[in-house]
């Protein structure tokens, strides 16, 4: 029997113009970490996120790292970070020799719990050890409760680095993700909603700090005819070739968001059939006024409410059919590398990690692929 094609969780989906822009970069010999595509891509990102300034970088991780540097985070400082996220949200805290403190999530959006954040800030304030920054994340494209988080952060005068790596195209009451924090961070890694194959961006309304980000990301060369350095520099700038891909991808972002939201609706409809039949599959629901880009559709299956059916049964059965699914992010407070870190917990992210599953969510999923996914799920549910 011919082996079935792999159905990916989230694969790149190229539009019509990316190759033309890459060809332009070659034809004009702008094969460097600067050039017209970089400038145009940055302008497009500013428009999309309604921010005043953007620096296109080599990754989302480098954008978080530069944000921490620009906020003066150094050894001995603490930084508060959402616990359930990809490790790249937290690793740059360690690059700076600072100490992360992890904050659990609330049940509505699965993101940083403003109540826990408040408790953590109160305690830090009493100990005269306020964090230098707070990093909330918009998990799977669902906006965190930003107005609550920003209000509490402002009360204590702590800047917010908004990790919008998964949330380009999402918004709260029309205000785009990436525009809430002192800094916004985007990622264009291969699995994100749009991609440059690898890349990221740092957003801010402050011209000076973004100028400084550009300076630091291109090796911090002082203005002199020779190579002169009075700061530690980084090689974090985006290539003009990759910015050409990004320019083309931005043109199709709205289509990609629509397709991913459509995936979510299809899954929701599909599972409602089982939910009408004694199951209780849960989704990441949009609070009033919230608009998720639905980067990944995720479900939560509590075996106690689902006739004993577990996330792992679904994951392993789909794996046999060559359908890629994945447990939700493993919270940072459970990671070996952060085992000695302090955290403020309420059980929400532990439950999400135990029972949550990300389903194939690419904007390029075909009808045939959806049929295979639903057929496989039908077989699983029919046994319970
Ligand atoms: C992908 C991702 C990052 C890192 O972005 P890269 O471009 O891969 O470095 C950071 N935070 C979150 C939440 C992400 O999903």
- pLDDT one digit per residue (tens) for the chain, 384 residues: 446 899 999 999 999 999 999 999 999 999 999 999 999 999 999 999 999 999 999 999 999 999 999 999 999 999 999 999 999 999 999 999 999 999 999 999 999 999 999 999 999 999 999 999 999 999 999 999 999 999 999 999 999 999 999 999 999 999 999 999 999 999 999 999 999 999 999 999 999 999 999 999 999 999 999 999 999 999 999 999 999 999 999 999 999 999 999 999 999 999 999 999 999 999 999 999 999 999 999 999 999 999 999 999 999 999 999 999 999 999 999 999 999 999 999 999 999 999 999 999 999 999 999 999 999 999 999 999
Q: Which ligand 1 atom is the nearest neighbour of the CA of 188?
A: 7
What are the phi and psi torsion angles at 176 (to 5°)? -70, 145
At residue 88, φ and ψ (nearest 5 deg) are -65, -20
Q: Which of 323, 322, 310 is nearest to 381 (CA)?
A: 310
Residues β-bridged to residue 103: 82, 344
252 lines ligand 1 (CB under 6 A): no
Please tell me the distance between residue 204's alpha carbon and the centre of ligand 1 in angstroms: 18
- CB of 89 within 6 A of ligand 1: the answer is yes
Characterize the bridge pairing of strands 175-176 and 171-172.
antiparallel
Of ligand 1's listed atoms, the one at least distance from the Cα of 187 is: 7
Q: In the chain, at which residue ranges do the beta strands (DSSP E only) sit?
A: 53-57, 78-82, 99-103, 133-135, 161-163, 171-172, 175-176, 183-187, 200-204, 282-283, 290-291, 298-300, 326-327, 342-344, 356-358
One DSSP character per residue, 272-291 reads HHHHTTT---EE-PPPTTEE
Residue 84, ligand 1, Cβ within 6 A: no
């Amino acid at each position: 029997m011919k082996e079935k094609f792999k159905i990916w969780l989230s694969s790149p989906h190229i539009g019509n113009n990316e190759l033309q822009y890459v060809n332009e970069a070659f034809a004009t010999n702008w094969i460097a970490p600067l050039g017209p595509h970089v400038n145009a891509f940055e302008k497009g990102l500013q428009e999309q996120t309604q921010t005043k300034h953007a620096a296109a970088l080599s990754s989302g991780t480098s954008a978080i790292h530069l944000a921490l540097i620009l906020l003066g985070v150094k050894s001995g400082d603490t930084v508060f970070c959402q616990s359930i996220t990809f490790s790249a949200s937290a690793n740059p805290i360690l690059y700076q020799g600072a100490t992360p403190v992890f904050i659990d999530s609330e049940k509505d959006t699965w993101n940083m719990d403003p109540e826990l954040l408040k408790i953590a800030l109160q305690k830090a304030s009493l100990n005269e050890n306020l964090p230098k920054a707070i990093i909330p994340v918009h998990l799977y494209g669902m906006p965190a409760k930003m107005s609550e988080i920003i209000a509490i952060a402002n009360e204590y005068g702590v800047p917010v680095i908004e990790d919008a790596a998964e949330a380009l195209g999402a918004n709260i009451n029309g205000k785009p993700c990436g525009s809430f924090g002192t800094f916004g961070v985007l990622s264009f890694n291969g699995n994100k909603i749009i991609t440059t194959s690898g890349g990221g961006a740092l957003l801010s309304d402050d011209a000076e700090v973004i100028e400084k980000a550009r300076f630091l990301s291109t090796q911090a060369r002082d203005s002199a005819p020779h190579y002169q350095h009075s700061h530690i520099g980084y090689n974090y700038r985006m290539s003009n070739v990759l910015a050409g891909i990004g320019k083309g991808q931005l043109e199709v972002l709205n289509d990609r968001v629509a397709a991913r939201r459509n995936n979510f609706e299809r899954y929701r409809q599909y599972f409602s059939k089982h939910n009408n039949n004694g199951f209780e599959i849960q989704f990441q629901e949009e609070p009033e006024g919230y608009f998720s880009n639905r980067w990944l559709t995720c479900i939560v299956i509590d075996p106690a409410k689902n006739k004993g059916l577990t996330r792992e049964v679904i994951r392993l059965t789909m794996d046999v059919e060559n359908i890629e699914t994945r447990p939700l992010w493993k919270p940072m407070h459970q990671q070996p590398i952060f085992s000695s870190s302090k955290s403020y917990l309420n059980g929400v992210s532990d439950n999400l990690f135990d029972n949550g599953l990300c389903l194939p969510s690419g904007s390029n999923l075909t009808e045939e692929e959806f049929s295979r996914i639903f057929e496989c799920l039908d077989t699983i549910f029919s046994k319970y």
